[in-house]
Structure 1
């Protein structure tokens, strides 16, 4: 069955080029009306121009689709609010939000400035939060919403010189985990994309042969699935070069240490048992961890036993 978005309205941030442009073009090709948000700045976040966003709008319109351009800086909530108002005035709803806008200020932690760190967080983390906040009540009221945040292997696993970027990219996963719970009864699904693609943000980091395989067009199908009506929720979907996988956060079953043995020395002595992967699970909510530990303690202490 073909996945389509007829009657749906999508906002894609950072959609002037690269991944965002590709996401927007494909959403429009499958029936969505799309807001092309792009500040039009350089890869480091400086400058601004509406040229790129307008060019994508022209592409979509030339193909028979509907799109409007918006130059909001996602790090500024008042500009994001105005973007969402423009969308509502134009089309009366917001069904899909793809948080793709990003910048890079790569430097080792020792050499990087706190100002650069904060700016990367402002764009990637707060930029996503600002856009979600501006759309949240609309999606709740219409009882429909599909939201994608863009994470990264740099956040999930680390990458030298990207402490700022990695922190922001794990931050959006943390936000996703709770938004999924709060949005569930309103049919709002929230997922994360972990893309590997050749864009201006990855130029010079890989040989050309690899970059030729890592085109944005091979990532976009993952986004299209994550914002579809039958999408999963709370999923980190990784995509690149035609490969697709899922990242999960796993917790080991762990052990209970008796009173008198709850010491760092006992943790060291029992490290193999604590880290034993057998029985490990992907927990679905923070409270599950607490319940697990309390249950282990209660069992060991005979609390609640008849």
Structure 2
């Protein structure tokens, strides 16, 4: 069965290597990984797949719902023994990614996370407005260092499966054209992005996905590194190409392919590239 083009995204998490002679699977889950899995558990995720890569890290893929649900989602929690925190900066960096999380009770979920100290509001977001339901959406930072947009479940897969990528103003047109050419995404409007910048939305109904390219007047910082194993909080996501072979030729390999999945750098993002089946 072909790997499906679904809402599947992930984040690199710092983890120390196991002591000599200790198997990876025997190392207790602690720190950011433990908190991230608890964060997901509260949201309704369940374990799906575990992988162990000697000398590199561990992988815990969790999912919520069933494939075919409009709000089905998978989260790939990949630890790296080489990861470190990048230097702090005031502005977002090129390629920084925000993943949308939708829930039937987003406010209740936020409050449960807060009770356990797992989250904080991101950028200048005011959590009190979200709790008071003066706004439907809240930007937050999870225990994995990933930025999320939390809000109510949407009626279509394309609206639930929404990904935002910070993009340099000078590159916006080229990046938008590339997403349209390779993934069949069509313009879906422009909006204010939480007072931080403007977002150009590109959407595909089947398989449902929306990519939002965010720009700001004072632009963004350069990416710190392209190495997904070095930067804690480095984001990646799966995306189905119209013609996978053609798209592979237009990208740069990030990691050797596995079966029908190619791991590539596409413009400002690290992708799990698959063939889209409409």
TM-score by length of 1: 0.28
Say which structure, 1 or 2, has more relative contact order (CA 8 Å, 6+ apart): 2
- Higher helix content, 1 or 2: 1
Higher strand share: 2
Q: How high is the TM-score relative to the length of structure 2?
A: 0.30
Structure with max Cα Rg: 1
